[in-house]
Amino acid sequence: MARTAYVAPMVFFNIGWMTHYHGAASDDRTLGGHGHLKTSTHGAEAYNFVPFEGRFHGYRPTGEKGVNIRRLGAGPNDDSISGVTVVWMARRPNSKDTVIVGWYRNTTVHRTVQAIPAAAPAREWPEYMVDAAVEDCRLLPITARNFQILSAHRVEGGFGQSPTYYDALDLYRTKVAAYIDSVDVNVSVAKRRGGRGSPRNMNPEVRRQVEETAVKHATTYYESEEGGAWEVESVEALARGWDLECKRDDKVLYIEVKGCSGNEVRAELTPNEWSKMNDRNFRQNYVLYVVTGCLSEAPLASIFQHEKKLGWRTMDGRSLKIEERMAARVSCLDSGLGQRNDAHNADGGIRRRSA
């Protein structure tokens, strides 16, 4: 029997949306439907990623009600429990989508609200409910917040508007844990590379695996009810400027699929793909489907379509940054030059042949 991977106790906290969660900044308001945001520009969650003595101290709305830590494995007389994964989720502004914005690993979750030590940096709300070491926490940049949370109005057993969820489905908890692992691993690899990002992998087998995963992900999505129940045909070998054609009744979509091993949306288009993407005859039906985390257990898709005056955007409002580049192919017409270069010895001198 296969052994199931251990998944730490996990709790989901629904908070307001912010960019940095690094204090009550005038240019970073807390956005959401929580009651406290009806009369205030910020909530206590604004300080969830402000460090103090090597730890983050997090708060979730309605903190006065406390956290039912017994549902996370604590005893009836315990005041806190450690080793919990706290998943912070928030609703995108002007969207019905709720996504993961960050997490704390190895967290201490307290039964009741705690007071921030007096020595901590000044903060408008000196309270917290969970704390974890800074190195065990991650706040995702807005462009990477693409893991959508199950919604109650779409999936039975999904999440609603409650600020706290303890009873995520086991399969879903495992999927979230795998996603968190994959992000942390990829970020760790990027740091070891000196922050150079994710260069094109030169291993042909890895490239093949990434491409196949991405195409399979797109095919599965568009064949599903959620994706529109299209009839999907692969045209990769025909060099049409896209990889998949999706047909339904008299409608058609042209899907260009790109795969990334890391979690950054970054891809290169061939001249043919770029031409078709901008051709008025195809643009309104053209889709750029970028799958990130193709080597992880939880690949994610960013789906870009063209909107008039707005350019290429996802449904959740993320825009595609496009950098056009010129390319060239070079060759050497003087075949003899290479032979003369071969006559150079190791230290740059020229070997002389005797007569």
Lowest-confidence pick of 27-36, 228-237, 239-248:
27-36
pLDDT digits (tens, 9 = 90+) for 16-51: 999 899 888 888 888 887 667 777 888 889 999 999
Mean pLDDT of the chain: 80
Strand 80-91 versus strand 10-15 pairing type: parallel
Residue 102 to residue 48: CA distance in whole angstroms:
10
Q: Is the pLDDT of residue 4 over 70?
A: no
The CA–CA distances, whole Å, from 200 to 207, 218, 242, 342 equal 9, 21, 20, 31
Same structural domain for residues 138 and 20? Answer: yes
pLDDT value, residue 224: 85
Residue 47 to residue 70: CA distance in whole angstroms:
26
- For residues 2 and 261, which has the higher predicted lDDT (pLDDT)? 261
Residue 164 to residue 297: CA distance in whole angstroms:
26
Q: Letter for the amino acid at 221?
A: Y
Same structural domain for residues 160 and 226? Answer: no
Residue 132 to residue 104: CA distance in whole angstroms:
6
Using alpha carbons, select from 231, 209, 193 the residue that is nearest to residue 293: 209
Same structural domain for residues 169 and 271? Answer: no
Same structural domain for residues 187 and 221? Answer: no
Same structural domain for residues 242 and 157? Answer: no
- Cα-only R_g, the chain: 26
pLDDT value, residue 347: 45
Same structural domain for residues 159 and 29? Answer: yes
Q: Where residue 291 sits, what CATH number does that domain have?
A: 3.40.1350
- Please count the structural domains in the chain: 2
Q: Is the pLDDT of residue 255 over 90?
A: yes
pLDDT band of 200, cuts 50, 70, 90: low
pLDDT digits (tens, 9 = 90+) for 160-191: 567 788 866 666 788 888 888 877 765 554 44
- For residues 294 and 252, which has the higher predicted lDDT (pLDDT)? 252
Same structural domain for residues 132 and 244? Answer: no
Handedness of CA 180, 183, 189, 195 (dihedral sign): negative
Using alpha carbons, select from 65, 64, 110 the residue that is nearest to residue 86: 110
DSSP 186: H
Any domain includes 321 = no
pLDDT digits (tens, 9 = 90+) for 99-151: 899 999 999 999 999 988 776 667 777 789 999 999 999 998 776 787 888 76
pLDDT value, residue 27: 85
Task: Point out the domain boundary residue: 158, 192, 226.
Answer: 192
Any domain includes 198 = no
Query: Average pLDDT, stretch 246-268?
Result: 91
Using alpha carbons, select from 261, 284, 300, 244 the residue that is nearest to residue 99: 300
pLDDT digits (tens, 9 = 90+) for 54-71: 999 999 887 667 899 999
Same structural domain for residues 276 and 296? Answer: yes
Same structural domain for residues 62 and 166? Answer: yes
Domain that holds residue 159: 10-192
Any domain includes 331 = no
With beta carbons less than 8 A apart as the criterion, state whether 320 and 304 touch: yes
pLDDT value, residue 187: 57
Q: How far is CA 146 from the centre of its chain?
A: 5
With beta carbons less than 8 A apart as the criterion, state whether 12 and 152 touch: no
Any domain includes 350 = no
pLDDT value, residue 195: 42
Same structural domain for residues 146 and 112? Answer: yes
Same structural domain for residues 43 and 135? Answer: yes
